[in-house]
Structure formats: structure tokens, C-alpha cells
Structure 1
Amino acid sequence: MSLREEKEIHIHNPKMLLFSICFVLMFSVMNGTMFNIAIPDIAESFNLLPSEVSWVMTGYIMIYSVGALVYGKLADTVSFKKLITFGLTVFTIGSLIGFIAPNYYFVLAARVIQAIGGSMMPAIAFIAPIRFFPNERGKILGIISSVMAFASGIGPILGGVIAGFLTWQYLFLTSALMIVTLPFLLKNLPDEETVSAKLDYLGAALVAVTISTTIIGITLAMTEVLWITIVAFVLAVVRMFTAKHPFIPPHLFKNRNYIVAIISSFLAVACLFGLMFTVPIMLRDVYDLTTMQIGLVMFPGAMSAALIGRKGGRLVDQIGARKVYMMSLGLLTTGFVIISSTVGLTPLIVSAMLVFPMMCFPLVQASGADILANMLPKHETGVGMGVFNLLNFVSGALSGAIVGVALDSFSPQDPFNWLAISGDSAVFSNVFLTFVGLVLTSFILFIFIYRERAHPAT
């Protein structure tokens, strides 16, 4: 047990602390959804293929995923105030670089710097409820989920308006405004003692190499790079079992329920991120919509997620996270079937149908996080959440890279879904039908292998 867990932390104003965390979280989430909308504009500005421009999202998520676990581990020994000050400062620097970027390489560099700073947020958002609100964890996770859903609803339309009336560069400038939350967080976070941090830098580097080479190999179709992935993965596993303080503790994977939960979540979140990446490209290629019009088409679906977020959190407390999670996977499967069948119809119909898969985002998120928090002992929750977040973000990066390659390589005129329309929209219908299969796999895996404990871990 860490020093942090041996004494109770006193918070002067819990409501203001929660408000401050939610405020910075909202900016962090909007940073992702705004750039999803601008992907077609960025591709047009630099004459990029879908697989190349996907690095605006996948590159960010790649760094973000590893950073989320690093910050999660550091949160056990370094005060939240120091982590937040460093994270928000670095994120703002990256945003300003992106605003003045003269070419695509500077844009990618800016996104990497943003990710190094912004990956602090998962540690704050998911560990703070466990550390500072242990008796209201379910309620707080529901609030956080609804804030994330609200931000995802505001992000597309805000990104469309900013990039439509100005240019996509101003999205970076908008993201820089997140620095205004720093004084509020520093004022309301409790003072914590910083103890000596023991971080397995070699293990972290091996995990980072495994993730990055996997995405590079898929995105650039460089199979030789995947050999580096295999070697790095083997070395990471060896390091995990031999290091005194491993980057990822091996004992986590002795828990069958934990393994099932992270694999099931990996598949579901990959499809959700894939949806967010695919839809803007589809609306540009099939319907020739402007950036603002893309934001308007996606807005109803994103706002449905915002509206259902808080109710989903309450539902987790009322009927249990497992039931909500299975229900959300069933709804997500149905949503992908619907959108796969309606691609190619009018933008108004597509906009209405996007509501079904997009509203499942907060349900999957809130119930999945609560399942994980319940199954692990308290002293392992931080690192457990870190690995959970790591794999979820990696799933998003992989889905964007794989979808980008699929859109580059295939252009069928006849969709696999016999309900869908033939033509340029066929490839997108097939992508969404693939998501149906992945979510069904996630559902079957969870319902048949996961076993709910009679009592939560302590």
C-alpha cells in the first residue's frame, strides 16, 4: 500500500474540486472531437491520403495512451498539483506550436506535444473519484461520463464553426484556452506530499515502441516494422516479470475478469473511435459536405451522448455496471447495423441514424470504468485503471490506422450489407459492418467468460 493510502485526504471544497476537474476534462475531450471534424480540411491543406492524415488522431492517441499510464503511476507518488501544472503547461505549448505550424510535420509535432501534456487528464479524471470521493465513486464517475459526453457533443459543432468561419489552425488556439483551468485546479486540489517515484523507464520505453511500431507498420504497410513490434513486445513481457518495479505489474493479468474486461472494452472502444474517424471522411467523400456541415450532421448524435451520459451513470448505480455494459454493447451492435444500412441516403437520414451508435459512447465508458473499479483491490485500482486506459487509447489509435489503410486500399461498389446502397458509399458500409462483428465478439466474450463476484475486491 502506498503512503497516499495510509492517511485520509481532506478536501476543503469537494464541489469546486469536482467542477474544476470536469472543466479541464471538457476542454481535453473537445480537443479530440474538434480535430476529428477537421481531418478532411487538414488532408486537403497538405494533399494527404486518409492513412497519412489519420496520424493527426492516431499519433496523438499513441502518445496519449502511454502517457496516461505513466501519469497514472506517477499519481501514486507525485502530487496532483505538480502533475496538472506540468501537463497543462506542456499542452498549451503544443497548442501554440500547432497554431503557427507552417507544414504538416509541425502539425504532427504539435499534436505529440499536446498528447504529452494532455495525457495527464485520464489520471486525474479516473483516479480522483477513487482517491477523493471513495464513498460516491459511482455518482462521480457518472458525472464525469456525462461531462465527457457533453464535450463530445459540443466538440464537433464547435470544431465545424471554428474551422468553417476561420481555419482549422484556430482549433489549436481554442485548445490552448485549457490553461485557464489551472488556477482553479491548484486552488481546490488538496496539498499532497511528493515521495520518491520509482518508474520503470525501460519498461515504459518497450511498451511505447511496441505500440508505435504496430501503428506505423499498419499505417504505412511496412511489414518489416512489425518484426520490431514482436521483439519489443517479448522484451516488454520479460521486463514485466523481471523488473523490481515493473511498468505494468504482471499480477494484474492473473485476474480473469480483468483480462475479459480490458479485451472486451478494447474491441468496443476501437469501434467507437473508428466511427469518429470514419464519419467525417465519409461525409466529405460521399456527400461533399463542408467542415461546418459535417459538424452539423454529427451534432445530434454527439448531443444524444451528452444527454444520456448522466442517466447512464445513475443507471450503473441502480441496476449494476455489468447489466448496463451488456445493454450498451447490444445497443452499439444495433446502431452499427443501422448506420451500415443507411450510408448513402440523404445527410439528414444519416445524421438521425448516427444517434444510435454515438449515444452508446458514455454508456460503454461509465459502465466499463465502474466494472474495473469494483473488481480490483483499492491499492491496485490506480495502476489497473492506467492499463485499462492505455489499452483503450491504443484501440482508438489502431482503429484509425486500420480504417485509414482500408479506405486507401479498397473501393468496392457493392456493399456486403444487402440493405445498403451500392456506389461510393459501399466501402463505408463495409467498415461499419466490420464494427458490428467486433462489437458482437466483445459482447460474446463478456457474457460467457466474465463472472461477477459476490463481493467486491478490497
Structure 2
Amino acid sequence: MNARSWWLMIAVCLGILLNPLNSSMVSVAIPRLQSTFQLDYTAVSWIIFSFYIASAIAQPVMGKASDLYGRRRIFLTGLVISFVASLIAPLSPNFGWLIVFRIVQSIGTSMIVAVGLAIVRIHITEKQATALSVLSIFLSGAAAIGPFVGGVLIHWWNWHAIFLVNIPFVAASFLLAWRTIPDDHPTVSKVSHKWMKRIDMPGILLFAGGLVALLVGLLSIKSSGHMSLINMFVGLSGLLLLVLFVRHELTTESPFIPLRTFGKYPEMTWVNVQFMLVNILFYSIFFGLPSYLQLVRQVSEFHTGILMLSLGVCSLVVSPLAGRWIDKSGTRPVLLSSAILMTFGALWIVTLSPTSSMFSVSLALAAFGISNGLNNVGMQAALFNSSPKEIIGVASGLFSTSRYLGTILSSLLIGVVMGSTFSFEGFRVLAMILTAIALSLVIMNWRQVQKFKERLQA
């Protein structure tokens, strides 16, 4: 690649790391936010929900928008939105405004991620595989080091720092992107009826409204300890909206989530279901363990970040090794090994006590980190193997949706189990539930391995 291509790569990389970095830094900030705004654990968990729900909607929508309005324009607009949100969020007068700015930040960073990969694919023609692998490293690496960065920032400053730290990255990315990303010619200049129909606005509204209402209803029941008529009405309204969403997606020409694809390709559907379960497991630990360390063990944000770094480092180290293993043995042994490691990690957490050594905690984190590294590569390879080439774009979109659904459900699981107060007893119950999910993945993958052996013998 020439010098201009490298500068373009740097511009895109500095931009796309913002979404995973901001999604993971907050895991260490939850106890501090809970104390600052005097909230129970269920309420403060919306700092996680809001980001992932907004990302799940914004990324596919902005991907479609870039085809009409131009990728350069969407990328630069996303950087401006991220800059404004990161600058204003620390000034939030209350938690409600912080959630609003968190959603705005999610939309801005999602705009960047949605078009970043496309910009590299279009404008970098030499060593494209290398360029894409570098982008993947920034995406996974930012998520991996997020808790460590967040722990250091909060320890030395305060929760405000996890927003302000974005500003130099945004500024550098914008200046480089302005100079290096070539102009593209948008097909339309303003919002049109064609655009509204193409992005399936009714489907988006039904999905977002149903998901939020269902979450509010379920979490309110758990937090209050009783089922009031209002909570029941909100939860049932959310469920009804999601049913209407499914009906709408099955009949519309350009669905937000193409549900019919799941029915046509059962093997691909199975991969997505497994990926969702994997993310429920991983992110339940990713968000639950920092709260256990800080609220139960009274570990500082700084040391919590250092401990959580072991999870990210193990994941990054194992990922390239997983690729070589898959080339030799296929995806099934890798995914089975990952499920076994997650089962071990969840069982190990069940055995933890309020006085367990930090080595024991690190051992559980290492197990989940290694399994995550295996899954990052193994699940992606399984998706490509199970998806017909003519729908690989749709398959990739559904794969991302499965990831976001897993992260949202992990946050819901933590909120429902914990209720208003994070406790060691609740954390142990959470670990038991995760053990059951991990064991189901072991059984699923073991059956797949046995079926594959039977085919070879036949």
C-alpha cells in the first residue's frame, strides 16, 4: 500500500475503534455511576442497554444510508456526532440526559463502523486482506482493552473521562479522513420516500419500541419486587409490538431483519442461534464480573481494569491460533473446545467466594478469554461455511444482529437476576444459569462432531 492508503487506514481505524471501546469501557464504570446518580443496579444497567439497542438499529440502517448519501459523508457525520456526544455527556445534569447522550454517541460511532469496512474495501485495492485484518484487530482490540482503559481513567479522574477520552481519537480521525477519503457521489441529496421504504422504518420502530417496552416491564417487576398493573401492561405491550414486528418483517419487501432467511437456511440459522448464546455467556461475565470485583470484593477501578485485561489479552492471543486450527481440523473441534472452556469458567465462578484469591478470578477470566478468541474466528468461519455465497451480505448482517441480541439479553439477564442491588448471592445464581447455557452448547457441538464423524465413516 502507498502512503495515502496507509493514512486512510489510520483514519478509518481511529474511527471504528470508538464503538467497541465505548461499549466495553462502561463495564468498569457501573458502580461509580450507581453511586454518583444514587440509582439501583437495574436502573444504571440502562447505560448498557441503550448503547447496544441503538447500535443494533443504527449500524444496518447507516449501512443502507451510505449507498444513497455517500460513505464519506456518513463517516464524517458520524465523527461529528461522536465528538458532540462525547463533549456534552460529562455535563449531563442527571442520568436521563446521560442515557440520551449515550444513545447519540452509539448512533455516531455506529455510522463510522457501518461504512468503515466498505471504505477500505473500495479505496484500498492492494493487500486488501491485510487491510481488513488490521481493521478486525482494531475492532476486537478496542473491546478487549476497554475495561482496562476505563478502569485507569475512572481511577485517576472520574466517569466523565470515559467520554472525554474519545475526543482526540475523533479529532485525529476527522482530519485524516477529510484529507484521505475520496469523494463519492450520493444518488440522493435529501431524505426521500424511497429511502424511508428501503430502511423499513415501520419495522425499526416496532423492533425498538417492543424491545424497550419489554425490557422496562421485566426489569421494573424485578426491581420493585411485585407485578403491578402498569409493569404488566408495559411488558405485554412490548411483547405485542415484537409479535407485530415479526408479522411485518415476514410480509414487507425490504425487511429490517430478513426473518425468512432463517427459515430457508437452517444451518445458517443454527450458527446464529449459537452465536447469540455465546454472546449471552461472554457479555454476562464481561459486565457482571467488574461489578462483583468492585461491589463485593471492594477492588478499585484501576485493579479491576488490570484483572479484566487478562480476558482481552487471552482472546487476542488465541484468535490467530484458532485460525490455523480451523484450517487443519474445521470449525467443529474449535467450537466444542470453546464451549467446554466456557462451562469450566462458569463452574469455576460458581465456586468463588467473597474471599477467593484474585488468581481464581483470573483463571475464570482466562477461560472465557480463550473461549472468546476461539469463538471470534470459529463462529465467523462456521457462518461462511453454512451461508450460500449469493446471500453472504445478508448473512453477515444477521450475524451482527445475533451478536447484539446476545449482548442485550446478557444485560437483561444480569438485571433480572440482580434486581435493584448487585449481590454475591445473585452473582452465584447468574453463574449457575451461565453454566447451564454453556453445557447446552457443549451438548450441541458434541452432537455436531459425532454427526460429522458418522458422515466420514459412511
TM range (shorter): 0.7 to 0.9
CA shift, 1:250, in A, is 3.9
How big is each residue's C-alpha offset from its partner over 1:118-150, in whole Å with a ceiling of 9 and x where there is no partner? Answer: 223553466678777899888766554443343
Task: Tell me the equivalent position of 2:431.
Answer: 432
User: CA 1:282 to 1:290, structure 2 compared with 1: closer, same or farther past 3 Å?
Assistant: same
Please tell me the residue identity of whatever aligns with 2:428.
S
| DSSP-derived class of the 2:351 partner | helix
| Alignment TM-score, normalising by the size of structure 1 | 0.83
CA shift, 1:249, in A, is 2.6
CA shift, 1:215, in A, is 1.9
CA shift, 1:393, in A, is 1.1
Please tell me the residue identity of whatever aligns with 1:434.
I
Please tell me the residue identity of whatever aligns with 1:360.
S
Distance 1:77 1:373 in 2: 28
Please tell me the residue identity of whatever aligns with 1:392.
R
Match of 1:305 among 297, 301, 315: 315
Distance 2:76 2:415 in 1: 35
CA shift, 1:274, in A, is 1.0
CA shift, 1:30, in A, is 1.7
Please tell me the residue identity of whatever aligns with 1:255.
Y
Task: Tell me the equivalent position of 1:181.
Answer: 173
Task: Tell me the equivalent position of 2:226.
Answer: none
Task: Tell me the equivalent position of 2:391.
Answer: 380
Please tell me the residue identity of whatever aligns with 1:184.
L
Contact 1:92 1:178 in 2 (8 A): no
| DSSP-derived class of the 2:17 partner | helix
CA shift, 1:426, in A, is 3.7
Contact 2:155 2:302 in 1 (8 A): yes
User: CA 1:41 to 1:136, structure 2 compared with 1: closer, same or farther past 3 Å?
Assistant: same
| DSSP-derived class of the 2:254 partner | coil
Distance 1:440 1:127 in 2: 38
User: CA 1:320 to 1:90, structure 2 compared with 1: closer, same or farther past 3 Å?
Assistant: farther
Distance 2:121 2:438 in 1: 29
Contact 1:262 1:391 in 2 (8 A): yes
Match of 1:279 among 289, 303, 307: 289
| DSSP-derived class of the 1:342 partner | coil
| DSSP-derived class of the 2:92 partner | coil
Most deviating of 375-384 and 105-114: 375-384
Task: Tell me the equivalent position of 1:161.
Answer: 152
Match of 1:194 among 186, 189, 213: 186
- Residue identity over aligned pairs, in percent, reads 23
CA shift, 1:360, in A, is 2.4
Q: How many residues align?
A: 431
| DSSP-derived class of the 1:264 partner | helix
Does residue 73 of structure 2 align to residue 82 of structure 1?
A: yes
Contact 1:141 1:370 in 2 (8 A): no
CA shift, 1:217, in A, is 2.1
Aligned pairs for 1:29-44 (under 5 A) are 29-44=20-35
Unaligned runs of 5+ in 2: 189-194, 222-230, 453-458
Task: Tell me the equivalent position of 1:215.
Answer: 215
Task: Tell me the equivalent position of 1:27.
Answer: 18
User: CA 1:297 to 1:132, structure 2 compared with 1: closer, same or farther past 3 Å?
Assistant: same
CA shift, 1:55, in A, is 0.7
Distance 2:105 2:413 in 1: 23
Task: Tell me the equivalent position of 2:224.
Answer: none
User: CA 1:205 to 1:29, structure 2 compared with 1: closer, same or farther past 3 Å?
Assistant: same
Match of 1:229 among 235, 238, 243: 238
Contact 1:297 1:348 in 2 (8 A): no
Most deviating of 14-23 and 424-433: 14-23
Contact 2:87 2:163 in 1 (8 A): yes
Task: Tell me the equivalent position of 1:355.
Answer: 366
Match of 2:350 among 340, 347, 353: 340
Most deviating of 98-107 and 115-124: 115-124
Please tell me the residue identity of whatever aligns with 1:63.
A
Task: Tell me the equivalent position of 1:66.
Answer: 57
Q: Which has the higher helix share?
A: 2
Contact 1:28 1:178 in 2 (8 A): no
User: CA 1:83 to 1:442, structure 2 compared with 1: closer, same or farther past 3 Å?
Assistant: farther
Distance 2:23 2:322 in 1: 22
Distance 1:95 1:33 in 2: 15
User: CA 1:365 to 1:134, structure 2 compared with 1: closer, same or farther past 3 Å?
Assistant: farther
Contact 2:322 2:373 in 1 (8 A): yes
Match of 1:394 among 362, 387, 405: 405
Does residue 252 of structure 2 align to residue 240 of structure 1?
A: no
CA shift, 1:443, in A, is 4.1
| Alignment TM-score, normalising by the size of structure 2 | 0.83
Please tell me the residue identity of whatever aligns with 2:217.
G
How big is each residue's C-alpha offset from its partner over 1:21-59, in whole Å with a ceiling of 9 and x where there is no partner? Answer: 433333322212211111100001111111111111111
Task: Tell me the equivalent position of 1:3.
Answer: none
Unaligned runs of 5+ in 1: 1-9, 412-423, 453-458
How big is each residue's C-alpha offset from its partner over 1:241-293, in whole Å with a ceiling of 9 and x where there is no partner? Answer: 32232222344121101211111111110111111111111112221122222
User: CA 1:251 to 1:447, structure 2 compared with 1: closer, same or farther past 3 Å?
Assistant: farther
User: CA 1:259 to 1:280, structure 2 compared with 1: closer, same or farther past 3 Å?
Assistant: same
Most deviating of 425-434 and 15-24: 15-24
